[in-house]
Amino acid sequence: MPEPIADTTDSGQDFASIGDIERLEDRLTALEEHVVQMGRDAWDRANKNADKISILYGELKTQQERADRLEAAMAEMAKTLAMMAREADRAGNLLGQVEGRLLQNGETLAQIAEAAARRAQAEALRRQDFSARLERLQDQQAAQAQAFAQAISRIEEGLQALARAEHEGAQQLGQALTTLHAALTGLQAQVQAGWAAASEAAEGRARAAAGHAQAEEAALAQLLAGQSQGPAQLRSIAASAGELAAASQALQAHQQARVRQAALERARALNRQALPLLGKAPFAAVETERGKAAIALLEEAARLAPEDTVVTTNLALAYLQAGELEHAEELLRLALAREPEAAYALNALGLLALRRGRAQEARTPLQQAAALAPEDATIQLNLGKAHYGCGEIRPAIESWRRAQALDPALVARDSAVSILLDEQARLEGTA
């Protein structure tokens, strides 16, 4: 029997290799799928990262834009501060000039007062001198009158003697005529002496006070004529002194008016500086430092111009925004006591009542303000709020629409009023 040939194909080993290959292929397939999945995951992560990068880039761009706007705002603020500094320098220079002028005016006023005092003293001395001269002239007139009476008496005696001489003879007649001639000659000499004394007094008075020469010469002439005007002359001198005092008072009043005008201009400048520090809205919250600065400026303005209604009202509004309602009301009452028809102050009083939640109380002053200033959009806006607080919707809408017609931007800044007007327009459109 032939010897069997050994099978060298090793089929068992071949089957094992094919199984390994299949498993390998499965592993390769799984690995390929895993790689594909990893690639997809990597792609998704890349997309997500790209989205994040886009978002970050957008945020970065927004931040850059904000930074640019902030830089522009800071530049604008720097310009504004520089402008304010220049305005402050100019205001300081102007104040210095005003102070210098006030000092000069004060010195001039002192000089005028001193000159007036010297003039008054000289006038008093001249009045004393005139009184003394008047007394002397009166004494002279009395003496002349006495001498004239004596002369008349002697003339009468001469006439009597002449009458007797008619019976006593021609010799006695000659003696009587001689006596009469002597009396008449003496009387003429006394009259001439009186005229010479009056002329000398008039010339001396003219040299002492040229301004009163004519009046005093007239007084002396009247004295010589027997019509003494001494009291009238004294009244004329008193009138001259009164005119001098009136002129001095007028000058003082003019200086005081200039001082008040300078104070008023300074107060108005301070008022203009304070307004930007206050909020635009009546109840706006103002930073503490800005509010304090505004109040300080307006208090100084009110001190310089206590009668200015606008300054007083703005100070009251500053206190209103600071929450000092009692102080604000006190100032507004004071302003309206001085100027009852000040629409600006009436509007502020209405705002104060609205701040306290008293719409009915606010309605009356706001209606008065609207009647006085019908073209003021702010007053119309506030009057609408008072009507709305009282439940008067139709009058409120009408007031707001008038305000919108006068100043659309003002109403647009008030979001609540804008919403109510839009809603009312929508309802009217659907109806």
**pLDDT in the model for residue 98:** 61
Give residue 142's pLDDT band: very low, low, confident or very high (50, 70, 90).
Answer: low
Rounded-to-integer distance, Cα 309 and Cα 327, Å: 16
Burial label for 364, CB within 10 Å (0-12, 13-18, 19+), is middle
At residue 163, does pLDDT exceed 80? no
What does the alpha-carbon distance between residue 160 and residue 152 come to, in Å, rounded to a whole number? 12
What are the structure tokens assigned to 110, written together?
A: 């002192």
11 vs 157: which has the higher pLDDT: 157
| pLDDT tens-place string over residues 66-99 | 878 888 878 887 787 778 778 777 777 777 776 7
pLDDT band at residue 352 under the 50/70/90 scheme: very high
Token code pair at residue 370: 């609207």
Q: What is the pLDDT of residue 106?
A: 65
| Angle at alpha carbon of residue 145, lines to 141 and 146, rounded to 5° | 120
pLDDT at residue number 192: 59
* Per-residue pLDDT tens over the stretch 295-351: 888 889 888 888 899 999 999 999 998 889 999 999 999 999 999 999 999 999 999
Q: Which residue has the tokens 């200039």?
A: 258
Per-residue pLDDT reduced to its tens digit, 374-420: 999 999 999 999 999 999 999 999 999 999 999 999 999 999 999 99
Residue 200 has pLDDT above 80, yes or no: no
The residue that leads in pLDDT, 247 or 377, is 377
Give the pLDDT of residue 222: 53
Which is higher by pLDDT, 286 or 138?
138
Q: Are 354 and 382 in contact (CB under 8 A)?
A: yes
pLDDT tens digits, 250-287: 767 776 777 778 878 888 888 888 778 776 545 444 55
pLDDT confidence of 160, banded at 50, 70, 90? low
* Of the candidates 172, 160, 233, the residue with the CA atom closest to the CA atom of residue 202: 233
Task: Tell me which range, 148-162, 202-216, 385-399, is most confidently predicted by mean pLDDT.
Answer: 385-399
Give the per-residue pLDDT at 285.
46
Predicted pLDDT of residue 388: 94
CA nearest to 203, candidates 223, 226, 220? 220
Cα torsion 355, 358, 361, 366: sign? positive
Query: Is it the case that residue 210 has pLDDT exceeding 60?
Result: no
Q: Rounded to 10 degrees, what is the CA torsion of 199, 200, 203, 209? A: -120
pLDDT at 138: 64
Tokens of 71: 């830089």
Residue 119 has pLDDT above 50, yes or no: yes
Q: Which residues of 104-134 are buried (b: 16+ CB within 10 A; e: fewer)?
A: eeeeebeeeeeeeeeeeeebeebbeebeebb
Residue 206 has pLDDT above 50, yes or no: no
pLDDT at 227: 44
Contact status, residue 375 vs residue 363, Cβ threshold 8 Å: no
d(C-alpha 366, C-alpha 359), whole Å? 10
Q: What is the mean pLDDT of residues 156-161?
A: 64
Mean residue pLDDT of the chain comes to 75
pLDDT for residue 365: 96
Lowest mean pLDDT: which of 15-24, 191-200, 367-376? 191-200
Q: Does the reported pTM lie above 0.75?
A: no
